[in-house]
Structure 1
Amino acid sequence: MNKKFQPLFEKLKLPNNVTLDNRFVLAPLTHVSSNDDGTISNEEVVYMEQRSKDVGLAISAASNVTDLGKAFPGQPSVAHDSNLEGLKRLAKAMKKNGAKAVVQIHHGGAQSLPNLTPNGDVAAPSPISLKSFGEQEEHHAREITEDEIETTIKAFGEATRRVIEAGFDGVEIHGANHYLIHQFVSPYYNRRNDEWGENRYQFALRVVDEVAETAKTHGNEDFIVGYRFSPEEAESPGISMEITETLIKKLIEKPLDYLHVSLMDVHSKTREGQYKGQERIKLILDWINGRMPLVGIGSIFTAEQAIEAIESTGVELVALGREILLDYNFVSKIREGKEDEIISQFDPNRADKHHLPPNLWEQFNNGFYPLPRTDNK
């Protein structure tokens, strides 16, 4: 290995004393490859085993905690005990080569798809109409009731129990990317006049408490609990860096083992407000103040970009998203001194189709995700 990449392979101890073998994280990637009923498919197991094999921490695709929260075709489910058999197979595959395997637990909220939910029902903090994953027309989301809010919080706990029973090492609470937990924090989505609107952080913090309590009751002190968030949104009035500062300062008081910031560019800068022009990750690290590690992500396609992300920002862990889909040997090639052999562009003519499940390859081929391509499409 080239000596300059050594920091990427240093071990990291989490607050619960679990040690990760290196600084690489498999990002939670929508693969649209689970069975229609949310159970784990054979293709998904192979794909996740390949992508998990060299990282320190592997996070599964967003997995819905209730049927009402399903937001993608081919989304894995952790909403029912009947999901356990497949989840056990997935846990074994992801952990096979030493990665700590974590399930991202998720509820789509307003972004749930009517064609995938019972009776086409979609619920959000406040009524709203929008287009979601792959939709050509807007759908309507009604206001979620207070009873449903309490039921949903408990569903995150029940999902955590199933994850523990399946043999995973932890969960990541999906509080990012305009899904339900994010929506409660956002002034754009949450216009309620009750306690859930007056305290926009309450739902997120209650979910964290429920998950942490379930982990304590059903798991052990080694069980990892992480939280993913989006620091700023374009909608107005939306989540600002000032709102994120308040959220982070509340989250670091909770028994979490890491935070995970959702970004398209690891060096992205604050859009507006008192922190305008400052790098988001550096601000976030200041607010965390060493209480727990931060996972950074955003347009990392080469070994040089990976080491630069850690050294220039100070972020403790670097997540690989689109790149590890293009080349599942990304980490091992760096470790073996073969970083010049890394595949960093999507090639629609590759015979092996980048070892992607068919549905995911189709999405890449159709330009669903922005990424470097050999055909410049």
Structure 2
Amino acid sequence: MEKKYETLFTEYTLPNGVAIRNRFVLAPLTHISSNDDGTIADVELPYMEKRSKDVGISITAASNVTDLGKAFPGQPSVAHDSDIPGLKKLADVMKKNGAKALVQIHHGGAQSLPNLTPGGDVAAPSPVDLKSFGQKEEHHAREITPDEIRETIKAFGEATRRAIEAGFDGVEIHGANHYLIHQFVSPYYNRRDDEWKDPFKFPLEVVESVVAAAEKYADKDFIIGYRFSPEEAEEPGIRMELTKELLEHLREQPLDYLHASLFDIHSKTREGQYKDKERIKLLHEWIGGKMPLIGIGSIFTPEDALSALETGVEFIALGRELLLDPRFIEKIKDGKTDEIISYFDPTREDKHELPPNLWKQFDQGFYPLPRKDDK
């Protein structure tokens, strides 16, 4: 390994005392490959084992905590005790080579898909019409009731219990990317006039539910993270000023890390008093060292990884690149960076070792990424 890459492989100790072997994280990636009932499919196991092999932390695809929250075809579920046997198999392969294995616990809210939810029902903080994953036509989301809100908060706790019973090392609360927790923070999605109008009440009560479950069922080594989106394009939407307030609350919680969801780790703020400043550097400053920050976004090369770490983040998450080349980290460590695959090649016989459904989406250009054929 070239000396300049050594910082990527240094150990880091989380607030709960757990040592993470390096600074790489497998990002939670939608793979549309679980069974129709949300149980873990056999095809997921080798896919996740290969991508977990060399990272310090490995995070599952977003896993719905209630049937109403299902937002993707082939989405894994952590909503039922009957999901636990498959989740145990998944935890085993993710942990097999030394990574810490986490379940990302998720509820789609307005983004849930009517064709996947009971009775085609979709609920959000406030009524809204929108298109979600792969949809050509808008669907309607009704206002979620106060009783359902309470049930959903409990469901995040129950999902945490199931993750613990399945042998996972932790959970990541999905508060980003326009899903339910994000929606409660957002003034675009949350136009309520009751107690849940407070943008921080729902996310903080979810955190409380998850922490309570961890304290009851797990030991002190159990990892709890929280993912968030710092800005959104909607008007009125989440701006950096609101995110600063959110982080002021989150950094006081018993969390082990925060995870900023960005398409480009070096992206800059759109508007307001922080306009044109790198989001990731602001976020790191606002967390103030209370817990580590994971950064993500368009990291395809070893130089990209170094540049990401130099922003100040403690960890860097790899998404599309570990899908293109599951040996990315190994090749850096072994001094074989010239062999890294950083583009999608639809002619590869091994199909990048992707599950069939995910490879098909890549081939059809569903996700933006470098391509050999420049499609």
Structure-1-length-normalised TM-score:
0.99
| CA distance, structure 2, for counterparts of residue 92 and residue 273 of structure 1 | 46
- How far 1:110 sits from its partner (Å)? 0.1
SS at match of 1:42: coil
Calculate the aligned-residue CA RMSD, in Å.
0.4
Residue 274 of structure 2 aligns to which amino acid in structure 1? Y
Residues 42-68 of structure 1 show CA distances to partners (whole Å, capped at 9, x for unaligned) of 000110001000000000000000000
> What residue in structure 1 maps to residue 312 of structure 2?
314
Q: Deviations over 1:290-326 (max 9, x none)?
A: 0000000000000011011112x11110000000000
1:369 corresponds in structure 2 to: 367
Aligned residues: 375
- The whole-number CA distance in structure 2 between the counterparts of 1:64 and 1:46 is 22
How far, CA to CA, are the matches of 1:281 and 1:136 in structure 2?
Answer: 33
Counterpart residue number, 1:129:
129
* Superposition misfits of 4+ residues, deviation over 6 angstroms: none
* Separation of aligned partners in 2, 1:302 and 1:181: 32
Equivalence for 2:351: 353
- 1:200 is displaced (CA, Å) by 1.0
Letter in 1 for 2:256: D
Instruction: After superposition, give the CA deviation of every residue in 1:125-166 in whole Å (9 maximum; x if it has no partner).
Output: 000000000001000000000000000000000000000000
Question: Structure 2 residue aligned with 1:342, among 320, 337, 340?
Answer: 340
**Aligned residue in 2 for 1:295:** 294
| Counterpart residue identity of residue 359, structure 1 | N
The AA in structure 2 aligned to 1:365 is: D
Partner of 2:7: 7
Look up the SS of the partner of 1:367 in the other structure.
coil
Residue 98 (structure 1) aligned with residue 98 (structure 2): yes
Write out aligned runs for 1:214-363 (5 A).
Answer: 214-311=213-310, 313-363=311-361
Q: CA deviation at 1:21?
A: 0.5
Q: Deviations over 1:310-354 (max 9, x none)?
A: 12x111100000000000000000000001110000000000000
User: SS state of the match for residue 76, structure 1?
Assistant: coil
* TM-score (ref. length: structure 2): 1.00
What SS does structure 2 have at the residue aligned with 1:155? helix
2:167 alignment partner in structure 1: 167
> Unpaired runs of 5+ in structure 1?
none
Q: Deviations over 1:71-129 (max 9, x none)?
A: 00000000000000000000000000000000000000000000000000000000000
Q: SS in structure 2 opposite 1:259?
A: strand
Aligned match of 2:211 = 212
Deviation at 1:30, TM superposition (A): 0.2
Query: Equivalents in 1 of 2:211, 2:328: separation in Å?
Result: 33
Q: What secondary structure sits across from 1:350 in the alignment?
A: coil
- Per-residue CA deviations over 1:22-52 (Å, capped at 9, x if unaligned) read 0000000000000000000000011000100
